[in-house]
Structure 1
Amino acid sequence: MEENIRIVQKHYDQDVKEEWDRLEKHPFEFIVTTRMMNRYIKPGDKILDIGGGPGRYSIYYTQKGCDVTLVDLSSENVKFALEKSKELHTGIKAVSADARDVDKILDGKYDHIFLMGPMYHLLREKDRIAALDSALSLLKNGGFLYISFILMFSGIIYDMKYMPQLILEDSEQTFLNAVLKDKSYAGDAFTKAFFIRQKDILPFLARFPLRKKHLFGQESILSPCEKNILSQPDEVIDKWTEVAEKLCEREEYLSYSEHAMYIGQKVR
């Protein structure tokens, strides 16, 4: 196993509960994303969740009547997901594996495949291509692939929201310079991570047999002001969420999100 992959695996092995709690602390990502995905996913569908961490999406879709298999690099994430599934009386299946090798350990065909993690941490393009090829080999013709990316500007949003003083730190300068030079970034962050320019997503995916259905911001416009909105009464939160869903595909607002998802349909 390459050193970068080992570092990512160790990070998630040590932070399982934090990763599970993340979508409760930052709920708009989950809400907007599942509303978009629910346009295609129906009870009884067969789902493969590659890089699904401790199982938030896997368990959610199992509760909606889907047949879900979770694959994650972190064995501790897999262990947690299985325990949480048992606690919630759902029936996910889960196994630990590298996203690039999933087709070597699983067979059969899936209606939907999630890649909501591997594109964050595979630093080399050839490895991101390998993970997508592996997923596509397990996807039915006409099935749907859901691919998440961390956007370049997400690092700026995070620093401005939580730790604006980081802009002065030497450790932040390589990433900041990449932003200023309009480049993508692969390297040290919360762990080893890849941040993509939003304008590079569609050209990267054009090489694969996919028909684009959607490219949207998973937090839509809400990420920079998330804390303020979450402090409001429920009716205010609900209205902003409704607006966010309607705006999440607007290209000019994509950089307000920290994550972007591409939904594509396999065409051959």
Structure 2
Amino acid sequence: MDNILKYYNQFDELGRLEREPVEFQVNWHYMKKYLRESATILDNGAGPGKYSIAFAKEGYKVALTDITPRLVEIAEKKAKELGVAKKFLGFYIADACNLSMLDDEQFDASLMLGPMYHLQKEKDRIKAVKELNRVTKKGGIVFVAFMPRIRHILTSLLYPESWKPNNRIDRILQFSESGCFNHSDEGRFTGAYYFEIDDINPFMESHGFETKELIGSNMGAMLNEHNWDYWKERGEADKVIQLIKERASDTYTLGVSSHLLYIGRKK
């Protein structure tokens, strides 16, 4: 946990989301598909509040939690600057495994877009999902982000020196079995857990959720700046984004997206 705090205290997470706008647009498209207008929302592991602030702008009531004090402070400051702080039920420094400051069945919808891939121990992943279940109303919707193992295997094979110790095939094979990754370069991406795609739905269903959809959030990240420039010059970038949204739920493309979004309903 100390490594997670250290990483996000120095990493520009808001900048990452701004640099990868397609991920936000895809997630937003599917979230709005399932949310009712008057929903009360929890953004658990919210980082700098990209999603919570967007919901607040649209009139939703939102509670924000994150384990990193700096990110909670950034989110609260940003909400005040944009005049939407009154839409927030609270800004909480909290571990996703322990949301004791929140009541049972408090929210119509709950987001957890970061914690699941930072929890390398299964017992912690189970705790986080149980807490998400506890604070979500019966029949409420949850949106949970996962990282697929196969995509990181392919990324390691393509860019081995960027993903040490996965610059050796024996370490890639170990990762393929365990799903646990710890970058050997100081200051790089913190320890993470990557799910097998076929395990995501059963995992969530075993903890009280009915699966609605599993989508690829950022298939568009495969396109580099040169690719996007090409489509922008043709005036067709919006059509490309629409295509990515439409194909996001295609099970055959899930492995090429570095982030997946599980959408479920609490039983």
Common fold by TM > 0.5: yes
| Alpha-carbon distance, 1:25 to partner | 0.7
Q: Are 2:139 and 1:145 aligned?
A: no
SS at match of 1:101: coil
1:225 alignment partner AA: L
Q: How does 1:168-187 map to 2 (within 5 A)?
A: 170=165, 172-173=167-168, 176-178=172-174, 182-187=176-181
Evaluate the alpha carbon distance shift between residue 229 and residue 28 of structure 1 in structure 2; reply closer, same or farther with a 3 A threshold.
farther
What whole-Å deviation, never above 9, does each CA across 1:133-159 have from its counterpart, x for those lacking one?
011111001100111001123435655
> Are the aligned partners of 1:51 and 1:99 in contact in 2 as well (CA < 8 Å)?
yes
Matches of residues 27-42 of structure 1 in structure 2 within 5 Å? 27-42=21-36
8 Å Cα contact 2:166/2:172 also seen in 1: no
Equivalent position of 1:24 in the other structure:
18
Q: Which residue does 2:266 correspond to in 1?
A: 266
Shift of 1:228: 3.5
CA drift of 1:44 comes to 2.6
User: In the alignment, residue 62 of structure 1 is paired with which amino acid?
Assistant: A
1:177 aligns to what SS in structure 2?
A: helix
CA contact (8 A) 2:129 2:204 kept: no
Cα distance change, pair 170–207 in 1 and its aligned pair in 2 (3 A): closer
Residue 128 (str. 1) matches residue 128 (str. 2): no
CA gap of 1:112–1:96, structure 2 versus 1, over 3 A, is: same
Match status 1:166 vs 2:161: yes
1:196 is aligned to 2:191: no
Task: Work out whether residues 219 and 258 of structure 1, in 8 Å CA contact, stay in contact via their aligned partners in 2.
Answer: yes
Tell me, yes or no, if structure 1 residue 107 matches structure 2 residue 103.
Answer: yes
Q: Does structure 1 residue 248 correspond to structure 2 residue 248? A: yes
Number of aligned residue pairs: 255
- Of 58, 77, 81, the residue aligned with 1:83 is 77
- Structure 1 range deviating more: 73-82 or 144-153: 144-153
Question: Structure 1 residues 123 and 169, CA, compared in 2 at 3 Å: closer, same or farther?
Answer: closer
Determine whether 1:208 maps to 2:207.
Answer: yes
RMSD between aligned residues: 2.1
Consecutive unaligned residues in structure 1, runs of 5 or more = none
Report the TM-score, using the length of structure 2 for normalisation. 0.88
- Note the C-alpha offset of 1:206: 2.5
Q: 1:141-181: per-residue Cα shift (whole Å, max 9, x none)?
A: 110011100112343565577xx3517954543652246xx
Output the CA distance in 1 between the equivalents of 2:195 and 2:207. Answer: 18
Residue 223 of structure 1 deviates from its aligned partner by: 2.3
1:98 correspondence with 2:92: no
Deviations 1:62-118 (A, max 9, x none): 11110011100000000000011111111233110110101x111151000001111
What is the rounded CA distance, in whole Å, between the counterparts of 1:168 and 1:188 in structure 2?
Answer: 9
CA separation in 2, counterparts of 1:46 and 1:33?
18
- Cα separation, 2, equivalents of 1:24 and 1:154: 22
* Secondary structure, counterpart of 2:48 in structure 1: coil
C-alpha change, 1:94 and 1:229, in structure 2 (3 Å) is: farther
Tell me the secondary structure at the aligned position of residue 140 of structure 1: strand
